[in-house]
Structure 1
Amino acid sequence: MTRVVEIHIAPGSRLPTRSVPAVEAEAGRGLVGDRYHGTKHRHVTIQARDELDLAAADLGADIPSGATRRNITLAHGPVPTRPGERLRIGPVLLEVVRVAAPCRLLDDWIGTGAASALRRRAGTAFRILESGTIAVGDEVVPVEDDE
C-alpha cells in the first residue's frame, strides 16, 4: 500500500505548479483548478517519489515533485501503466489512459538530462471515473476488475 505525499496543480500551460493539501476531482472533467480540467481524457497525472529519487540519482541533482508538472505524487510505486487498470485514492476512482512521457521542457526547468533521467519514470495519465476529494495522506488502493 502507498499514500499520496504531494499534490500539485497549475492553472495553465507553462505556469508554475503550486502545492495544495487537497484537490476536488470531478468525474469526466479533471482536477478543479488545474490546466487539464475539462479535457477529454487526461484528467490527472500520477508519479511515484521513489522513481523520482532514482531519476535524481541518475541526473545527479534533486528532482522536486512539482517540477515534473505531475499532479499526484505517491510515496512509492509502482504506478499502474496498462490502459484500463484502476486505482482508488480516497473516494476517487481513476482509470489508466496511458503512460505519461517526460516533457522536453524538463531539461530547461530541472537541468540538462532531466527528461532522459525521467524516461520510464514520468508517471501515468488517468481519467477520473468517480468524483471526490483527493488529499495528502490518502491511501492508494489498486482496484480489481470485478469491483
Structure 2
Amino acid sequence: MNAWRHRPLLEWLGRRIGRLSRQQREGELSAIFISAAAGALMRPCDEALAIVDRGLAEDRYALGRGFWRLTDGCQVTLIYAEDLRRAERRHGLSLSAGQHRRNLVVSGLAGLDLRGVSLRIGEALFEWHRVRPPCGYLDRVAGAGTAKALGRHAGHCLRVREGGRIKLGDRVTLI
C-alpha cells in the first residue's frame, strides 16, 4: 500500500488531534471566592490578586486564618465547575454561592489529571500541589452531606509561583 496516497488523511488527522489536545488543555475561570477567616462565608469576587507562596490576597490562607493552616493548608484551592453541577444535580444541593469552600471554579477541564501540571490564569502562574478532598469540616460549615456530594477528588491545592491579577473569564491554560 502506498503511504503517500494516504498522506492528506494523515495530515488532517494530525491537525484534528492537535486541535483536540489544545482544547482539552484550556478552560475558563468561572468563579473566584475568598473568605476572611475559617468558617466565614465565602465571598464571590470579580478579580483577585495571587501572591507568590501565600495565596489570594484577603483570603483566609494568605492571611494565616484558615482552619487547616497549621496542618494541611493550601495556598489556593480549585474545583471543576462540572463537578459542582454534578453534585448539585445528584444531591439537590445549591453550591453556586461558594458553599464548596474552594477559591477557584474552572470550567472546561473536568476529568483532566492536574498532577505535575502548572496552570496559567490571567497574570498568575499556579502549580498543582495535591488533591484536596472535602472533609467533615465542610459538612459543619456548609451543611451535612456536602462533602460526600462533592466526592473525594473534588478539589485541588495549588501553589502560587508567579503572582498577578486573575479575573472572571480568564483563560486557564495547562502547561
Shorter-chain TM-score tier: 0.7 to 0.9
Q: CA deviation at 1:80?
A: 4.2
Would the aligned equivalents of 1:3 and 1:75 in 2 still touch at CA under 8 Å? Answer: yes
Query: In the alignment, is residue 119 of structure 1 matched against residue 151 of structure 2?
Result: yes
Residue 2 of structure 1: aligned partner? 27
Q: Which ranges of structure 2 fall in alignment gaps of 5 or more residues?
A: 1-25
- Deviations for 1:29-70, whole angstroms, at most 9, x for unmatched residues? 211100110669721111111111111122122222511110
- Return the TM-score normalized by structure 2: 0.73
- Which of these residues, 51, 55, 60, is aligned with residue 26 of structure 1? 51
Indicate yes or no: 2:161 matched with 1:136: no
Residue 106 (structure 1) aligns with: 138
- The whole-number CA distance in structure 1 between the counterparts of 2:131 and 2:97 is 17
- CA distance in structure 1 between the aligned counterparts of 2:80 and 2:91, rounded to whole angstroms: 17
Partner residue of 2:41? 16
Taking only the aligned residue pairs, the percentage that are identical comes to: 34
Of Structure 1 and Structure 2, the greater strand share is in: 1
TM-score by length of 1: 0.86
Distance in 2 (CA, whole Å) between partners of 1:51 and 1:23 is 23
**How much is the aligned-residue C-alpha RMSD, in angstroms?**
2.0
Structure 2 residue 89 is matched with structure 1 residue 64:
no
Gaps of 5+ in 1: none
Structure-1 separation of matches of 2:37 and 2:172: 27
Which 10-residue stretch deviates more, 29-38 or 70-79?
Answer: 70-79
Letter in 2 for 1:116: K
Distance (whole Å) between structure 1 residues aligned to residue 113 and residue 120 of structure 2: 12
Give yes or no for contact 1:52–1:121 (8 Å, CA) kept in 2. no
Q: 1:138, CA displacement in angstroms? A: 0.4
Q: Which has the larger radius of gyration?
A: 2
CA distance, structure 2, for counterparts of residue 65 and residue 74 of structure 1: 15
Given residue 112 of structure 1, which amino acid in structure 2 is its aligned partner?
A: A
CA contact (8 A) 1:51 1:77 kept: no
Which structure has more helix as a fraction of its residues? 2
